[in-house]
Amino acid sequence: MSDLKIAIILGSTRPGRNGKAVADWVLEKASARTGADYELVDLADYPLPHLDEAIPPSFGQYQNDHTKAWAEKIAGFDGFIFVTPEYNHSTSAVLKNAIDFLYAEWNNKAAAFVSYGSLGGARAIEHLRGVASELQIAHVRQQLSFSLFTDFENFSEFKPGPQHEESAKVLFDQLEAWTAALKPVRAAA
């Protein structure tokens, strides 16, 4: 068992969402690895309202119980895989909101991105990369992008192409390496 913990954050709560199947696939591939322990964190299990903290998250003075519970959950991880749909050339509002609730809990950790959409969700990932940089999250180059046209049957049943297997391995390798490399940085902070 590894001492690294990585959350696979499912960034969609939409009824009939495709993201659950994608996140489950990522978790299935990750569960065969020994470099880190992976856990699925479904935002549907953390029903956060629109950001309702009066003090900016960078101060770490959370007032609401839902924020404290979310902060406690995220603080326990060393790294993240964000699974995001692409809505209107960006990530989902629920994922952006969940990210915006916290600050220090994200710092000096590593992340990777998995997306899905008509163009594979690539634009959602590009937006998340900027957000991650601001939160001092080191993000790896490799990403997984699933097309609604080629990786889903009838736009709803997830059937990823075989080419994603090797890309997933590279993503996990990069993420585990960066997550481990940042552990001493977090300890010093």
> What DSSP string describes 78-143?
SEEEEEEE-BTTB--HHHHHHHHT-STTTTTEEEEEEEEETTTTHHHHHHHHHHHHHTTEEEEEEE
Q: Per residue in 9-22, pLDDT tens?
A: 999 999 999 999 99
Quote the pTM value. Answer: 0.97
Check which CATH number belongs to the domain holding 135 and give it: 3.40.50.360
Whole-number pLDDT of residue 2: 76
Q: Per residue in 113-150, pLDDT tens?
A: 999 999 999 999 999 999 999 999 999 999 999 999 99
The answer to whether 113 and 82 have CB atoms below 8 angstroms apart is yes
Whole-number pLDDT of residue 28: 98
Beta bridge partners of 148: none
Domain count, the chain: 1
Whole-number pLDDT of residue 188: 86
> In the predicted model, what is the mean pLDDT of residues 76-100?
97
- Domain extent at residue 33: 5-188
Confidence of residue 1 (pLDDT cuts 50, 70, 90): low
Pick the closest to residue 144 from 166, 128, 118 (CA basis): 166
Query: By percentage, how much of the chain surpasses pLDDT 70?
Result: 99
Q: Per residue in 31-58, pLDDT tens?
A: 999 999 999 999 999 999 999 999 999 9
Tokens 């953390």 found at: 46
Angle between helices 19-30 and 163-188 (to 10 degrees): 80
> In the predicted model, what is the mean pLDDT of residues 93-107?
98
Whole-number pLDDT of residue 114: 98
